[in-house]
Each structure stands twice: as structure tokens, then as C-alpha cells.
Amino acid sequence: MSRTPVRVLLADDQSLFREALAVLLGVRDDIVVVGEAGDGAQALDRAAELRPDVVLMDLRMPVLDGVAATRRLRAEHPAVRVIVLTTFDDDEDVFAALRAGALGYLLKDASSAQLVEAVLAAARDEAVLQPSVAAKVVARFARLPDEEPAGRPQPLVVPLSERELDVLRLLADGRSNREIAAALFLAEGTVKNHVSGVLAKLDARDRTQAALRARAIGLL
């Protein structure tokens, strides 16, 4: 059974890099590059015109940077998934991009296999983080208890995706993985992966704690 290819928009101010990405992704049957943009503002215009499934977004671009473009893109076109593809992995860039709504964060030294898997995962509404970036997220979570003022839970370091929010709502309602899978028309294994992601992002050890923290920060 054939699947519709994932539609990808490339946003990077280096035309040679965009061309290389287009060639790399163009050999895939399950991915099609529908357009390119040389800055964040152009990325917004092209996204509105082309309706891609995934945008590969550089951070440092003229006119409108990648973080601002990601924030506006997620607000104006919430169905579009953003993967940051950049040379920068300092804490400020990483968390600014994730707070803006990026679903993935890769460095430009990632392998072609990592990039392809990230695009396909984003199309499935699954997050993909470079190992060094994932380590930063884990380290930030480890510091959260010391940073939280009493009685004022902090917002999530990495936001939940729309699919994870769907799973969270059903999870908080006491549904099992099988029941959640049936309600959302997903495979039970996919639901299990989403539940693991929800627990990790909420820094919760179990479903009950996840539901309690989600209510405390206004997700439910």
C-alpha cells in the first residue's frame, strides 16, 4: 500500500546547503521537497502557499530568524511540523527553538539517515532530538525541582505535541493504552511510545503523577 510522500519545505539562507538537502531528500520515494526559502519571512510565505508537512528550519537567517519564524508558523499553521537544522546547539538556542514549538532539533553534522528519520518521525508527530540536545533537555529537567517556587509549577521545557496532548487527555481519564489506541485510531505500540514521551516531558514517574502535573500547569 503506497503512502503519500511527506511534503518538506527547506528554510536556510545558504543556497548551496538547500540544494544539497534537496538532492539528498529527493532520492526518497517517501519524501518530496516542495519548496525552498532563504529567510524566515519567506519561509512563512512559502508555507502558506505550499502547505508542507514538515519544515527544515535554520536558526540564523536574515529578515526573520528561525525561532521567530517557528513561533509564527506554529501559530498560523499548527499542522506544520518544524525541525530545526542548525550548526548551533547552545542552551539558549535549543530551548528557545523548543519553546517556539519545534518538534525536532538536529545539527548540520547529522547523518543523512538521521535527517530522513527525523523528517518521517515529525510527519508522525514524533519528536527527534540530536543526542547532545537530548542531554541538555534531561539536564534541564534534573534542575527543575530546585528552580520551582513552592506552589508554582514551571511550564514544560519541551512542549507536548498535539498528538501527545490527545494521549494525555485520555490517559488522565483513566484509559488504557489499548483504549487510547482505539479512540485515536493508532497502533498500541505507537500509543506506548507517546505515553513514554508524555511522562518524560512532564518529568512524571507514572500516569497519575503525569495527570496531576498536567492539571497543575493548565494542560488539562
What residue spans define the domains of the chain? 6-134, 160-216
Global confidence as pTM: 0.68
Q: What is the pLDDT of residues 173-195, one digit of tens each?
A: 888 888 899 999 998 888 888 88
By the 10 Å C-beta count (0-12 exposed, 13-18 middle, 19+ buried), 63 is classed as middle
The yes-or-no verdict on residue 144 having pLDDT over 60 is: no
Q: Which fold has domain 160-216?
A: Arc Repressor Mutant, subunit A (1.10.10)
Q: Which fold has domain 6-134?
A: Rossmann fold (3.40.50)
pLDDT score of 159: 86
Average pLDDT over residues 71-96: 90
| Mean pLDDT, rounded, of the chain | 87
